[in-house]
Amino acid sequence: MSCAIAFEHVTHRYLHAVAVDDVSLRVEPGETVALIGPSGCGKSTLLKLAAGLVWPQQGTVFVTDRALAPDNLLEIRHRIGYVIQSGGLFPHMSAVDNVTLAARFLKRDRQWIAERVAELAELVQLPRDALDRFPNNLSGGQRQRVSLMRALMLDPAVLLLDEPLGALDPMVRHGLQEDLRRLFQRLRKSVLLVTHDMAEAAFFSQNIVLMREGKVVQRGSYRDLIDAPAEQFVSDFVKAQRGLHAEALDA
């Protein structure tokens, strides 16, 4: 078996609730999978399980074919890029220091770091002068671009994106969606993307995984979810997501 990310019968409980309930899921190399579902369905927890930020009580998480364990965690994390809704940039470091922190810690060659930064800035279309600014002096869109650069710095095989565009206003969001999709196609990374927006999920991926109460309800393309819903909840969720658009158009 060769896979980028695999969950095998993974269960994670918080103190009072089950967040992820016996989930098995695979992301093939180069594939983009969109995780979607209502709030609290366990999609962010699944992402944290893949990054080793929380540990499953049952089951195993594989990243690039290796089972996550405390002793290989740091090494495996260097093969993972993780981006969250707020960007998670360290406010006491300039953008470029945020981007290069891990590389500097790993004592990568200075020249290599400088070239990599220039390359990534171009890739995510970040103006050069933004690199020297502190996160508080960047726009929301710029912050997410910097966060993406940081995630890509060590050229990871896997990208874990937790609502990366969720905090942006619609215009900026739309522009970034286009840029991101182009970037995924060009880099051929394996991507696990969490979103709560069905249109965004459909825009990024033919592989949409719909979750509810810690379980995977259905996996398939947007069309599959509409045409062959696994259960009533799938139709309800799709309908609710389309609701306002459709009503506005119908009116």
> Distance between CA 182 and CA 191 in Å, rounded?
13
Enumerate residues 203-242 that contact another protein by CB under 8 A: none
Q: How far is CA 228 from the centre of its chain?
A: 26
In the shown chain, the binding pattern of residues 100 to 119 toward another protein, with x for contact by CB under 8 A and - for none, equals -xx--x--------------
Q: Report the residue number, 74 or 251, with the smaller CB distance to another protein.
A: 74
Question: x/- binding map, residues 29-68, to another protein, per CB under 8 A?
Answer: -------------------x--xxx---------------
Is the separation of the CB atoms in 131 and 96 below 8 Å?
Answer: yes
- Greatest extent of the chain over all pairs of C-alpha atoms, in Å: 61
Burial 13-33, CB ≥16 within 10 A → b, else e: eeeeebbbbebebebeeebbb
Q: How far is the CB of 55 from another protein (least distance, A)?
A: 12
Phi, psi for 211 (deg, rounded to 5): -115, 155
CB 81 within 8 A of CB 158: yes
75/129 with CB nearer another protein: 75
Instruction: Pick the closer one to another protein by CB: 133 or 174.
Output: 133
From 97-105, 117-125, 180-188, 209-217, give the range in contact with another protein by CB under 8 A.
97-105
Integer Cα distance of 2 and 97 in angstroms: 35
Q: Give the interface size with another protein as a residue count (CB under 8 A).
A: 27
In angstroms, the CA 235 to CA 34 distance is: 17
When asked if residue 92 is in the footprint of another protein (CB under 8 A), the reply is: yes
Considering only 74-82, 177-185, 203-211, 243-251, which stretch makes contact with another protein by CB under 8 A? 74-82
- 12, 145, 150, 173: which one contacts another protein (CB under 8 A)? 150
Q: Contact, 18 vs 41, CB < 8 A?
A: no
Which of 215, 219, 170, 173 minimizes the C-alpha distance to 192? 219
Stretch that binds another protein, among 83-91, 110-118, 171-179, 228-236 (CB under 8 A): 83-91
- Smallest gap from residue 7 Cβ to another protein (A): 17
Instruction: Tokens for 23, please give them.
Output: 């989930």
**Which of residues 102 and 230 has its CB atom nearest to another protein in the complex?**
102
**Piece of 5-13, 71-79, 181-189, 227-235 that binds another protein (CB under 8 A):** 71-79
For residue 165, how many C-alpha atoms fall within 13 Å in the half-sphere facing its CB?
A: 22
- Please, are residues 116 and 103 in contact by the beta-carbon 8 Å criterion? yes
* Binding flag, residue 74, another protein (CB under 8 A): yes
Q: Which residues form the interface with another protein (CB under 8 A)? A: 48, 51-53, 73-78, 80, 82, 84, 86, 88-93, 101-102, 105, 134, 150, 154, 160
